Amino acid sequence: MAETADAIIIGAGLAGLVAATELADAGRRVVVVEQEPEQNIGGQAFWSFGGLFLVDSPEQRRMGIADSRDLAWQDWLGSAGFDRAEDRWPRAWAEAYLEFAAGEKRAWLRAMGHRLFPVVGWAERGGGAATGHGNSVPRFHVTWGTGPGLVEPFVRRARAAEAAGRLRFLWRHRVDALALSAGRVTGIAGKVLEPSDAPRGAESSRVEAGDFELSAQAVIVAAGGIGGNHDLVRQAWPARLGRPPGYMVSGVPAHVDGRMMAIGAAAGARIINGDRMWHYVEGLRNWAPIWPAHGIRILPGPSPMWFDATGRRLPAPNYPGYDTLATLAHLTATGHDHSWFVLNRSIIRKEFALSGSEQNPDLTGRSWRMVARRAVGGRPPAPVEAFLAHGADFVTATALPDLVAGMNALVGADLLDEADLEREIRARDREIRNPFTKDAQVAGIRNARRYLGDRLIRTAKPHEILDPTHGPLIAVRLNILTRKTLGGFETDLQARALDASGAPVPGLYAVGEAAGFGGGGMHGYRSLEGTFLGGCLFSGRQAGRALAGALG
């Protein structure tokens, strides 16, 4: 097998593009192989909201947020809960990534033309002790241009390297094996798939058109996780999160199937923390799906009331935007795969955003005029209106009896009792009448509005849900949505894949979700959000720079 490149990168998503461009800019010859057609360049990052975790940024300071590296590390450790011997490298990656997020990350991206929306979001608020899970302050910085705006600088760098002859893309090349020689990874082998004009994200043909082999001094695996393969998700599902759901929607395309995990393991790479995962509980069935079981996540403000499938209000800290995995574990214990938001039009207008670049045309299209309507318009954003009109998970009614009847009709069973829901909603509404309260969610709403960003565009002024001047009433059925693999290939800080003894597998590197975003799981058990794209950026950069220096 003749050498064809200095390095081969498997996967043309964000982590792969970052690694490729770092190598190419250092003068190395790079081949990027990708089983999907060219229109999928950028991978999952293209579909994202473009959120980035930054610490003590100018945007935070302008919004009156006092953040620090120490506070962020306190939050990270409280969320990660590192408690295993194999957490040595994940913890090292977490600390290194936090230094990056508090240091040069913003300036590095800005030098490539990347820009941020000025209002910083407050994701994963926690709801427990200061040393527990969650962000003590807002840290979720949205890319101006969302996912495409984040991918854009790296595509531009890759195309420039391609034009200069330092980088080649091989589309529709599916890797089936890593080549080994004397214990060293020396290349890849697989099948060339027939051309496909399937739209970005849609399933593409798996008809094989030929074989291929490539060799190089090193191979970087950047092929993502398992979120599109529900069978693998259920196999890895841990007991601490309850029973695996019988029904889920997919937050990622079907080709995010975990194939390279088994292939890398066969070459000697160790996978750790496979039971750590990140799936959302606010999933909607997409009324205009692109991939199978296509789900869209609601990015909720703090005001909707949350009920399980039988109408029991969720306890603290299981409120919208507080603690994703605690809420997931609570809901799986109910024996049902769905839950409900109950709210009204005033809340949905101010507080509902939908995750995904295509669901945010104002931010994706960089339109200030459209963005202004979020703060001052009288209607929900157009994508939210479209789900209200066409989505299978929405019920609207002017009176609570009709709303509950519609909710029961939607699931085909009388699981909800109108009197129970009315009692809970009216009790909550009574708490709104004073500026102080014993209701933890209402207290959280008032706390959120003390932050300028939430008051401007994310949190409705407290009011009674049953007040008809804020109607109609709206119920939203929520599905569990698969998203991220938090574990993966164990790697050192150079992104070298390690074997069962802890030694590097010669010639093999791993980045992005395939490496648990660094080390085999830098998030530990939980994420603070904005760290998945950031983990792809950081691990890709670490791998590209380390390998560029190591190549002969």
- pLDDT digits 0-9 by tens, 454-479: 999 999 999 999 999 999 999 999 99
Separation between Cα atoms, residue 390 and residue 76, nearest integer Å: 39
For residues 345-361, average pLDDT: 95
pLDDT band at 446 (very low <50, low <70, confident <90, very high): very high
Tell me the whole-structure pTM to 2 decimals.
0.97
Other CB atoms within a 10 A radius of the CB of residue 130 amount to 11
User: Would you say 486 and 273 are in contact if contact means Cβ atoms under 8 Å apart?
Assistant: yes
Locate 388 and state its tokens.
């209200």
Q: Could you give the angle at the alpha carbon of 336 between the alpha carbons of 310 and 135, nearest 5°?
A: 90
Report the candidate in 281, 223, 292 with the shortest Cα–Cα distance to residue 485. Answer: 223
DSSP 457-484: HT-PPP--TT-GGG--EEEEEEEEEEEE
- pLDDT digits 0-9 by tens, 101-152: 999 999 999 999 999 999 999 999 998 899 999 999 999 999 999 999 999 9
Question: Largest alpha-carbon pair distance within the chain?
Answer: 76
- pLDDT digits 0-9 by tens, 368-410: 999 988 878 788 999 999 999 999 999 999 999 999 999 999 9
pLDDT band at 1 (very low <50, low <70, confident <90, very high): low
> What average pLDDT does the structure give for the chain?
97
pLDDT band at 3 (very low <50, low <70, confident <90, very high): low
- pLDDT digits 0-9 by tens, 213-248: 999 999 999 999 999 999 999 999 999 999 999 999
- pLDDT digits 0-9 by tens, 10-35: 999 999 999 999 999 999 999 999 99
pLDDT band at 283 (very low <50, low <70, confident <90, very high): very high
* Per-residue pLDDT, 171: 98
Is the peptide bond between 504 and the residue preceding it cis, with omega within 30 degrees of 0? no
Separation between Cα atoms, residue 29 and residue 216, nearest integer Å: 9
Percent of the chain with pLDDT over 70: 99
For residues 330-345, average pLDDT: 98
For residues 355-372, average pLDDT: 94
